[in-house]
Amino acid sequence: MKKISIPFSLSSLRLRSLSLPKGRSVEGASAFLASSSWSRKATGSRAFLAALSLVSSLSPLVLFTACGESTTTEKIVEVATGGTEIVSSVKDLPKCTKDNQGEQALVKGETSVRVCVDGKWFATVSKSEKDTVFVAGDTVYLDNGNYSCTTKQLKDKSGLKIICNGDSIGVVLNGAAGKDGANGNDGKQGIQGEKGDDGIGCTIAAQTDSLVTIMCGGKSMTLNLRANGVSVDTASVDTLELDSEKVAISLDSLAGYSQKGPFLKGSTVYLYELSDGRTLKQTNGNFTSEIKNDDGRYKFTSRNLVSQYALLVADGKYHNEVTGRPTNTAIKLQAYTNMLSRKSANVNLLTHLEKDRVFYLVTQEKKTVRAAKKQAQAEILEAFHIDASKFKMESEDLDVFGKTDADAALLAISILLQRDSSETELSVLLTDMADDLAEDGSWDNAAKKVEIADWAATMDSSVSTSSSKLALFRGNVSGWGLGGGNVPDFEKFIRKFWSEELGLGVCGSDSVPVGLVKQVPNEKSKKYYAKNYTDVNSEGGNVRFICDDASLSRWRTAMDIEKDTLGWAKKFKSAKEGAFHNGKVNTGKTYVYEQGYWRYGTNLDSLIGKGCVSWREDTVAQGSNGGWYKCVNHAWRAALDIEKDTATWGHDFKTGDYRNGQINKAKTYVYEQGNWRLGTELDSLIGFGCTETIEDSLLISEKDIGAYAYKCSNKKWAPECGDLWCGAAKDYFVNTGIADNSGSYGYWADFAWSESGTKLDSVVRYPKEKDDSSVQDALKPIIDTCGGICGEMVFDSNSTYAGVYFTLTEDGETPKDISSWEGLCIIYQSVRNAVFQIEWFDDKNTIHVSEASLPASTDKKIVDFVWSNFRSTGEKAASRAAYIDFMIYGNGKITVPFAIYSIGRHGTCQ
């Protein structure tokens, strides 16, 4: 408790018909001031404080600083004469220095005197219901200056006249010199004066030997009479305090940053002067500053203010931390600030949210502004699950680019409240929050808090920290290139907020070890709530969170296997390789036990009833649905036809063996190189698989399977010829299947034209001599050489022809019905157009021909005819056919190469 004396001087008062004890004298106020050890100025702070311990005969005014948090004011307990200036406004107050320490001044329009203490002009404040007096020069003021009393020395210097509001109400006479005598008798009552003007009303109400009480308009003051003068009796007047919540200041400058994100160039900051820190009422003083750059910085130049308190209001657009882009719409943020000991003050979300709460605490609960701000800040941070006990900074000191945890908390709250909201939505939210916090310091909108927590969880809980949207927000803030590029560690406060708000707890704390998987138990969470671990949450999903990194207090979304196999290590500790179970949360998912761990499986593991593990690789199994599946790379898949058709056959087979499928019986499989492969129907029809070991081999089928000969090429049998005759197979006869007395085949022969009947005008010339020993075998050497019938047709004159033919039977004479063949096909080459014709007999055994044209072709060509292609008599010719001719007409002396490779029934030449 420190004690400060403020030197006032109240002149000794001479009361009418009142005598002082012997030895006392009354001097004029000015004479007293000249001789007194007290003056209206002190010689310095130390000298001033030292003087406080003195208790003079004038009972100097003493001020005490109250012990405790609620006030820093000093009590005025006695008043002495000092003289008080009266000024028009605060700006007219003289500078408070050590030279005028203790000086008092009245500011017009204010109801209390100001006192110069510690370099500041403090206002004074009344704290009781007693009358308040103060002194200005030789005048004593009562009732806030409505009444003024002063003294005037009598002409004979025998005492003082007391004058109140211009009227003399009594005198005090000097006592005789010498030793103190007994108290004198009361003097006679003085003559009643004339009635004074209305409003004066000062009278002597009571008196004793040492006290005189003066009444003025219902207000009173009691004066002590002492050896060396007169002073105010403090028991009869109010106790005055220096008001630390109203200190006039001369502001050199005030600067700071307006931040949601930083406000943009062109935004405006207003400074509203407040009357004091007890009412926080605005005066008529307000000032404006414009933000010049996109960093949000403002500055006010020198100002004289009636108190150290001001309201700052920032109005403008800002950088959005969530989008990284400037906003399109302006918002307003506010801040109370005490400029007594600061030259900078930032405006931000915390200053804005605490503003209404501070006003309530100051005006309703009589807190000082400093105490109210400290309490409000702690309450707001607590709403975001942030412990403010270690934060030593006031909210207007915080900076979203700062380096402290308090700065990080500000940035975290700024991001959380911004979310994906528009500027209008944000302003509404801030208004609602500030209003909710105002009276009890509690943000009671639990639904909104959880809504924000849901959003934050979605932004932060991705499996990879690099894909967390918090990294994007950090990049946005850093990318503005402001604040030296520093971005505080805001992530931990966002994580703490959403994890605690949703009911997960702090990851890495004693109760939440790394690896713990939990559902969200907060039923207000529309996105993540689940009433128990296996329940789906409110939006139909099944999100669970896992404590992932204690150093970052980071929860992330648990992967399916993490949440579905929780507790299985203990529950299924004796699980065998290949065991499977469906998930705890995702009951439709299957997990397989392999090499000591649970891993993702597929629904096929459950369908088949066994997990696909390494020792089952390449095995085929049937599922409960009847389907077949193969284990490949730790996962079942639908088996191919060959896999399920050969699943049980094994490998005890020889190359070329074939079998029809056990499921798909129409499919043929060939065994080659130790495995089964898909074959063709011909492997089965022919009775042997076409493999690399018999590549290019020609096989004559003894079965009626369509073609007559087949060639093995590229592991497939392919028909090489028509079904009647195949030169490549070195068929010497045509397999007509028409039986006669000699057999069921025909033979090849040739023919040419002779105009004279003796000399041939055309001839068929072969690369090999014919065998003339037998008509049926004549062309055998040619077939052996050509793999068919080949050669040249040579013509010596016009209108000649030559050709080759085959008979339908061995005797070659009897007509046969070949209508069932439906037509004929031929594989040939010829550099000149040729004719394919049927020689046939009518009922009178007259021979006729029915022909079809064969186009020239230097490559092998297949032509397939139906009977109707053979002129108009094709059908009739087929019913009585005798020979089938391949013929070329000559035209002058020419040579025409040709080759015939195969003949077949309609549709068999391939």
Tell me which residue has tokens 């600067």.
255
Name the residue with tokens 């820093």: 72
- Kindly report the number of other CB atoms within 10 A of residue 34's CB atom: 10
The residues near 876 (Cβ < 8 Å, ≥ 6 apart) are 840, 850
- 901, two tokens: 């490779």
In the chain, how long is the greatest CA-to-CA distance?
A: 201
What is the spatial distance between Cα 904 and Cα 827, in angstroms, rounded to a whole number? 9
pLDDT at 79: 36
pLDDT confidence bin for 84, thresholds 50/70/90: low
Taking residues 44-63, what's their average pLDDT?
Answer: 31
Q: Give per-residue pLDDT as tens, 819-833.
A: 999 999 999 999 999
DSSP class per residue in 496-540:
HHHHHHTT---TTSTTS-TT-EE-B--TT-TTTB-SSTTS--TTS
Both structure tokens of 129: 């219901």
DSSP code, position 651: S
pLDDT for 528 equals 93
Instruction: Name the residue with higher pLDDT: 113 or 408.
Output: 408
Rounded to 10 degrees, what is the CA torsion of 332, 335, 341, 344? -20
pLDDT at 182: 58
Please state the rounded mean pLDDT for residues 832-852: 93
Question: Under a CB-based contact definition with an 8 Å cutoff, are residues 316 and 333 in contact?
Answer: no
Q: Which of 245, 279, 434, 444 is nearest to 357 (CA)?
A: 434
Catalogue the long-range contacts made by 45-50 (C-beta closer than 8 Å, 24 or more residues apart). Answer: 45/98, 45/101, 45/118, 48/4, 48/5, 48/98, 48/101, 48/102, 49/2, 49/4
Nearest of 170, 135, 146, 176 to residue 29 by alpha carbon:
135
Distance CA 901, CA 86 (A): 138
Q: What's the CA gap between 508 and 497, in Å, rounded?
A: 15
What residues are paired with 222 via a beta bridge? 213
Lowest-confidence pick of 233-237, 314-318, 517-521, 693-697: 233-237
User: Which residue did the predictor score with more confidence, 622 or 223?
Assistant: 622
- Segment 573-589, tens digit of pLDDT: 778 888 999 989 988 89
Q: Per residue in 133-179, pLDDT tens?
A: 554 445 555 555 555 667 777 778 777 677 777 777 777 666 555 45
Average pLDDT for 540-560:
89
Q: Which of 20, 15, 14, 16 is nearest to 182 (CA)?
A: 20
Question: Do 437 and 356 contact (CB within 8 A), yes or no?
Answer: yes
What was the pLDDT predicted at 116? 84
pLDDT above 80 (res 901): yes
Cα 62 to chain centroid distance, Å, stands at 63
Q: CA 650 to CA 193: how far, in whole Å?
A: 143
Half-sphere exposure of 283 (CA within 13 A, CB side): 21
- Confidence band of 704 (pLDDT split at 50, 70, 90): low
For residues 196 and 204, the answer to whether their CB atoms sit within 8 Å is no
Put simply, whether the predicted model's pTM sits higher than 0.75 gets the answer no
At residue 5, the pLDDT reads 33
The answer on pLDDT for 232 being more than 90 is no
Q: pLDDT category, 180, cuts 50, 70, 90?
A: low
Tokens in use for 303? 């100002």
Q: What is the mean pLDDT of residues 857-878?
A: 92
d(CA 397, CA 323): 26
Average pLDDT, the chain: 81
Out of 12-16, 165-169, 607-611, 807-811, least confident range: 12-16
User: With bands split at pLDDT 50, 70 and 90, how would you rate the model's confidence at 67?
Assistant: very low
d(CA 253, CA 272): 14
Written as one string, the DSSP assignment of 200-211 is: --EEEEEE-SSE
Query: 718 or 356, which is more confident?
Result: 356
Question: pLDDT higher for 743 or 757?
Answer: 743
Q: Could you give the CA distance from residue 279 to residue 123 in angstroms, rounded to a whole number?
A: 14
Mean pLDDT of all residues in 825-852: 93
